[in-house]
Amino acid sequence: MSGIPEIDFGPFLNGDAAARSRVADEIRAACSEFGFLNVTNLPLPTGLVERVSAKAREFFALPREVKEAIGRSDLDVISGYVGVAVEHLDTEQPGDLKESFSLNQASLKLLDHWRIPVAGFRQTVLDLHEAGARACAALVQAMALSVGAPGDFFVDKHAPHASTVRFFHYPPLERQPGAGQLRAGTHTDYGTVTLVFQDSVEGLEALVDGGWLTVPVVPGAVTVNVADLLSRWTNGIYRSATHRVALPGADVMQSRYSTVFFYNPNSQVTVRCMDSCCDADRPRQYPPIVAGEFLRRRRAAQYE
């Protein structure tokens, strides 16, 4: 089993037709085999990732009572703070050993009402929503072309998009975890595609060919993974890989941080297997499903 691929996206943005086709083919191969890849030269503003990381660390360093006052509002508007062991990404295991802060497109207005004592936090979240959507829109052009569809296939399906930004903090382990408890339980992501901005502490693992493969931290790269709705659109050609955040080794008593941008389609869009991904040898594997209903069901299960 080889490692998670690393792909330079620059030639897709700036190259000729042959270069764009080559990058699209590389992305298809990575997403078909692994469901994960590390991508360099995504169209992200200089310094944004570093600014996001700094603001996330400042937020999680706030007193517990301040964070808990910014509580999760409801499951349709994924937003606010969630404490350690509240969320169960693997619904059959104990709560995840992480805390998080989330905002989706529908709940961005809450930034004007919450009192978050971190200078520049509001603008950083807004900038990340805008930049993440722009980067993902470029990525899914390559993905559409890679399966024989027009490059703009996903444009109207994400207009407007219903994406979510989540900041994660995985605290140092202060006591023995429960049986089956992880920093983030085994799961797949739910939407179209996910951008993961990892810090220097590894722990993200993808299930590939029956074994757990570390998704390495690559300086200057963004980790990208396929989510469930993209897998359904491509009739399983693109793999929504099962993944988790494993417990650190006994000699790694430190926090882990990551920021994740979940690129989701418009809630009213019906997701159907793409015609270019179906034929007599590969019949449609999935029935049509409304994106918003699918996402709501998947999210609700995490808190039961």
Tell me, what's the pLDDT at 300? 77
Question: Minimal CA–CA distance to 230: which of 190, 187, 261, 276?
Answer: 190
Largest Cα–Cα separation, the chain: 59
213 pairs with which residues across the strands?
206
Q: Which regions of the chain are under pLDDT 50? A: 1
Tell me, what's the pLDDT at 76? 56
CA distance 116 to 219: 30
193 pairs with which residues across the strands?
226, 263
**C-alpha distances out from residue 277 to 130, 145, 184, 272, Å:** 30, 12, 32, 11
Tell me, what's the pLDDT at 204? 97
Tell me, what's the pLDDT at 100? 95
Quote the tokens at residue 261: 């941008």
Quote the tokens at residue 229: 């709705």
CA distance 125 to 260: 11
Catalogue all structural domains in the chain, each as residue range(s) with its CATH number.
6-301 (2.60.120.330)
Tell me, what's the pLDDT at 289? 98
197 pairs with which residues across the strands?
259
Pure H helices in the chain: 10-14, 17-33, 48-60, 64-68, 121-146, 228-233, 291-301
Question: Minimal CA–CA distance to 143: which of 271, 238, 5?
Answer: 238
Which residue type does 267 have?
S
Question: Minimal CA–CA distance to 89: which of 231, 275, 285, 262?
Answer: 262
Tell me, what's the pLDDT at 114? 87
The tokens 């983030």 sit on which residue?
Answer: 184
Tell me, what's the pLDDT at 164? 94
